[in-house]
Structure formats: structure tokens, C-alpha cells
Structure 1
Amino acid sequence: MKQNRWCASALAMIAVVSPVLVLPAFAHGFAGQRFFPATILTDDPFVADEMSLPTVTGNPPAADGSRETDLGFDLSKRITPDLGMTIGEQWERVLPEGGAVAKGWGALQTGVQYQFFVDEPRESIALVGLNATWANTGRVQALGAPDFTTLSPVFDFGKGFGDLPDSVWYLRPFAVTGNLGFSFPTRAESAGMPNPDSVNYGFALEYSLPYLECCVRDVGLHRPFSQIIPLVEVAYTAPINHVPSSQAIGTIQPGIIWSGQTFQVGMEAVVPATRTTGHGLGWVAQLHFYLDDLFPGGIGRPISEWWQQ
């Protein structure tokens, strides 16, 4: 079966990279002096103990004229210092053009991640993982939640540019994170419509003012401005079989993240990048908590360390 084949492939990939490097425990998103914030649209390249509650999205009007508002929640938890799991769900409200409002839960999403690489001097970080969107865990008829499970092996990475020479010091606060993955539905079609395999890719380009102040040079910024990270995120999902490639969806999301000691707040505009995605503008806002800083002696630690002194 396709499901078993791709489960085996993902586990084999994790098994290959596991012996490469034994990692120390890192707090949320650090590689050396570089802090990678939790991004809203694209996947984070690190395992963590974190929670987003809530993520509120006002989506751009869809191609058919409908409007959707989402209220999301997700949790990331380390099992060991370099092995983590994720779970996410969202409540959706859809207003069709000229129709009645439909609302309810979307599909449940889970994942497992392995942090196989951290290079502190080069501010580089990477993980591999396997995500799943589960069948019949949301309102299938009213909201279009899937009646099939989708498996998605992923590769996520991050790179800070703090190792650039001081002659271009103004570029050193830049960092980029990115994702590459594939999605494989476990059913070829639903209600007579094809369920295509797809490729998912995206990146986030960030300029860290906290990094500028702490690690490059003091330019006189003070709180709260010294804790701001402007960024732009881009993500696409494109079918690779069964349907035309013109049905790709994607968004471009410029915004800012303000990062404190125990939480961060992010806000982004949502700009459709394809006709299939929709038209006009949307928005998204997120409150995100660092559980490892909120509860450093308890649930903020990896599960494998809960019973250690």
C-alpha cells in the first residue's frame, strides 16, 4: 500500500541520519547565537516545546467568492532532545457567496520530527519529519475536510548569515528558513474527484533586530523595537499528477514577529500568489508560547527527562 511504502521511506530516512550527530538540547530555535522564531506559514526547522494559541486567520476571498475565517491551535513537544511530535487543529467558519454559513472543525494534523543537524558556528539547523492529515476528523461535507488520510514526508532547514564578514555587517542579521515536502493521499479519489499527490515548498526570509543589537552592533534600538523580526513568508502547494499544474495554491505573507522571553506575537498580511488561491488580501495573527521557558523544570523539558532529577 502507498501509506505503508511512504511510512517506511520516512523511517528509513530518519534511520540514515540518526547516527550522524548526537545533539545537545537546544531551546526553541537556537543555532549558536542565532534565534529562529516560530513562523506562522512555513514549518519551523527545529524540535521544540511550544504552543500556538490561538492562530486567527482571515483568509482572502476564495476563487468562488466564499470567505473563510480560521481559529487554530498547535502544540509541539519534544520526546527526547532531538525527537519531537506535533499536533494541530483548527475551527473553521466558511461563508459561501450567497449561501449559508458553515462552521466546524477541520482535519486533525499530527507529525513526528527528528533534529539531525545543528551547526552553531554557521548558524545552521535542519530536521526531517513525517506529517499526517487524518481522514474523517473534520466536517467532510460542510467544510470539505478530507475523507482520506494524507502522509507528508518533509525536510526543513534554517541558515543565519551571522558568519558573513564585518564589511557587510548590515547583512548579518538576515536568516532564511525553508521547507520541502511531498503529500501522498491514501485514496486516489473521493466522490469521483481525484486526490493528487503534491509537492509543498516554501521559505521565510527574516531580518532579526534582536540579533543586530546583541551580536552585530548596537544601533540604539530599545524595547519593544529591539525585539522585532520583520519577515516575509512564501509557500506553495502544487499537484504533480491527476490534475493540471495550474491548480497550484500559494501565498506571500509579509509581516513582523515580536519575541519576548516566554512568548511571541506575530502578524502577517496574506497575499494570494495564484488565481486558484483567491483574490484580494487576508490577514493572520498568532500568539505563541515557549513552554520550555514557561515551565523549565516541568513540562517544558523533553518527556525523556521528566523523571530525571
Structure 2
Amino acid sequence: MKASFLTRASSRAPRTYALAACAALLAGASPAQAHTIVGDRVFPATLAIDDPGVNDELNLPTFTTMTAANPDGSPGSINYSLGWEYSKTITANLALSVGSEGYSWQRRPNAYGWGNIETQLKYVMWQDAKSESIVSTAVSAEWGNSGSPQSASLPSDPVTTVTFKLFAGKGFGDASADWLKPFAITGEYDFTVPTRSSNADGSLNATTVTYGATLQYSLLYMNAHVREVPELFRRLIPAFEAVFTTPLSNLEPSVPGEFGTNVTTGVVGPSLYYVGNNFQLGVMAQIPINSASGAHVGVMASVDFYLDDIAPNSIGKPLFGAPQARGRY
């Protein structure tokens, strides 16, 4: 249930676009942290986009910081958030998630608030252990006004949005060349629709698309299936990630001296994941692609607890049916 961070920004009025874009970027930290195992391939809980699988997991917390830019190029507010997400499998291929960007605060000016609650239903349509491939889909909702009220210094979004998602992942363990085997790619495509076209103040809520990808190099996989690596590096998965949001329709008119509401925004950057037996640690440097996305490099970090490994016979197993068969990593 990875939030489409600039989906929210795009629905705001132009005069607040810079602050909204950065605050919404922090929202991307919240839902849908999960690790996925297909055959012998571990797809980590990536930070820019969601991974393509379903699991029993608790992400707590996800920390994000980013500095917004003003339209004149000067630094704007400094934004922070602490988010969370809980994912529960219903069957081996179906999971329900609930989460939030959580508590957010900013400096320049000072403001505080709680993010909306987000829910997601995700289904794995197809996966193949031999080719380390997986395709899944999801529908999620961010429930308007379920966070801080509009009277708060940092209010939650007043409008509910519904997002339709498609995910895919492919590991290259079946490649003939050994140097290719540790590589994997994942991707996500989201289409977000607000349930209300405009707000009480007359501002419009945009329809947007969010799309992203990751390129991963698994030292975990290399050590297990290609050749031994030093023990210090055996559980690491470095990656490069990117995510972008483009407003499609119902856009505010452009205002001279402000960021345009039709601008594509996003972040790219390197990341690193440590995959433990029962948890994962992840960190990503978020480089804004333009001034509408942020003023400086931001940071996102998370801790993800694998409930399916911690408590496989209770809260870590599907409500119905047997769990997915897992490869050994």
C-alpha cells in the first residue's frame, strides 16, 4: 500500500503546492512494507514502491525527512514523519493492509498533525518459482479526514482517494551468466481517483498516475546460489529506486510564480536493505527530480518485522488455507 506521495500534492491549490508536495512525499513512507519470497528469491520491502507480494508483517516505524523548495528556489519547510503499516494474509495469495503516514511535523513554520488511515486489499495473480517471477494487483483507499482535523496546524487530506495498482517482480536467478543471477527488478503502476472532484474552498482534486521501479543486487542471493561473499555483506541487498507522479486531469489553473499543478514530480536514489531472519532494516536516499519535488536530498528508513517468520503458527499464517511455499534463503 505504498502511498502515491505526489498524488496528494497534485490535488492541492497552487499557492500551497511546494509544502503539499513535500508533506505528501513523507506520506509515501507509510503503508505497504513487505518482503516477498518467490522460489529462492527474496524481494525486500522496498521504500520507493511496494514489493509485489503478500505477507504477514508489521512495519514500525518508517521515518522520512525531506526539505521542500519554494518556487523562487529557496528552501521551504523541513518535513518529518513516522509511519506504520500492518499486513495480514487472508489466504496465501490475498492480504489486507492498514496503515498511515502516521505522525508528521515540520519546521519553517512549525506544524504538527496525523495522517489519514489507509487500507489495501492485494492479490497475487501469478507467480512462478523457477523463473522468480510474480505479478499482483491491489485496490487501496486513503480515508479523507481520518487523521488530524482541518483545524490542525498540519491537517489531513479532506478527500478520500481510491487507487488501483499493478505490481510485478522478476529475479534473474535463471540467467546463464553468473554475474546476472543476483539481479532483480520490480515495478509498480498506480491510478488514483479522488472520490470528490473539488473541496469546500473550491480547490480541485486531481486524478493522477504514479509509477516506479527498483533495480536490486542481492548479496544474499549471491552468497546462497553463486559464490560465497564475506559474512559482513551476506544479508545485504543494495538497490536503486525511482518513483514519479503525474497529474492527469481536474487540475488547478497555473499561477505565475508558483509551481504548476501539471508538473511530474518524484524522487530517485540508492537504497540498502539488511534482511535478517525475522526482520528487515532499510534506508534510502531520496533525490528530488525537480524543485517541485523538494529542495535537498531526503532520507527514508524503516524497520519491518516478519510476522510470518516470528509467529508462523498463529498471527503469521493466513486466516484460511496453507501459507505459501517458501524457498530457502
Q: The TM-score by the shorter chain falls in which range?
A: 0.7 to 0.9
1:107 shift after superposition: 1.1
Counterpart for residue 240 of structure 1: 248
State which of 304, 311, 323 in structure 2 corresponds to 1:295.
Answer: 311
Amino acid at match of 2:297: L
Structure 1 residue ranges without an equivalent (≥5):
1-26
State which of 294, 297, 315 in structure 2 corresponds to 1:281.
Answer: 297
Counterparts of 1:233 and 1:295, CA distance in 2: 31
- What is the aligned length? 273
1:248 shift after superposition: 2.3
- Over 3 Å counting, the alpha-carbon distance change for 1:28 and 1:252 in structure 2 is closer
Q: CA contact under 8 A between 2:69 and 2:291: conserved in structure 1? A: no
Give the secondary-structure state (helix, strand or coil) at the position aligned to 1:293.
Answer: helix
- Deviations 1:36-94 (CA, angstroms, capped at 9, x unpaired): 11112201100100111111111133436011100010111101111101111111002
Counterpart for residue 83 of structure 1: 94
State which of 184, 203, 223 in structure 2 corresponds to 1:193.
Answer: 203
- Deviations 1:166-223 (CA, angstroms, capped at 9, x unpaired): xx311211101110110000111122111110001001111000101111222x321x
Give the secondary-structure state (helix, strand or coil) at the position aligned to 2:224.
Answer: helix
In the alignment, structure 1 residue 161 sits paired with structure 2 residue 172: yes
Amino acid at match of 1:233: E
Q: CA contact under 8 A between 1:232 and 1:253: conserved in structure 2? A: yes
1:284 shift after superposition: 1.4
Q: CA contact under 8 A between 1:75 and 1:86: conserved in structure 2? A: yes
Counterparts of 2:203 and 2:46, CA distance in 1: 33
Using CA pairs under 8 Å that are at least 6 residues apart, name the structure with larger relative contact order, 1 or 2: 2
Counterpart for residue 214 of structure 1: 224
1:245 shift after superposition: 6.3
- Give the superposed CA RMSD: 1.7
In the alignment, structure 1 residue 148 sits paired with structure 2 residue 195: no
Counterparts of 2:312 and 2:53, CA distance in 1: 18
1:144 shift after superposition: 4.5
Counterpart for residue 184 of structure 2: 175
Counterparts of 1:35 and 1:298, CA distance in 2: 23
In the alignment, structure 1 residue 113 sits paired with structure 2 residue 94: no
Counterpart for residue 280 of structure 2: 264
Matches within 5 A, 1:87-98: 87-89=98-100, 90-95=102-107, 97=108
Q: CA contact under 8 A between 1:33 and 1:123: conserved in structure 2? A: yes
1:246 shift after superposition: 4.0
**TM-score, length of structure 2 as denominator length:** 0.79
Identity of aligned residues (%): 37
Counterparts of 1:148 and 1:213, CA distance in 2: 48
Give the secondary-structure state (helix, strand or coil) at the position aligned to 1:145.
Answer: coil
Give the secondary-structure state (helix, strand or coil) at the position aligned to 2:67.
Answer: coil
- Over 3 Å counting, the alpha-carbon distance change for 1:144 and 1:234 in structure 2 is farther
Amino acid at match of 2:103: W
- Deviations 1:198-255 (CA, angstroms, capped at 9, x unpaired): 001001111000101111222x321x31100001111011100132564322111312
Give the secondary-structure state (helix, strand or coil) at the position aligned to 2:47.
Answer: coil
Point out 4+ residue stretches in structure 1 off by more than 4 angstroms.
none
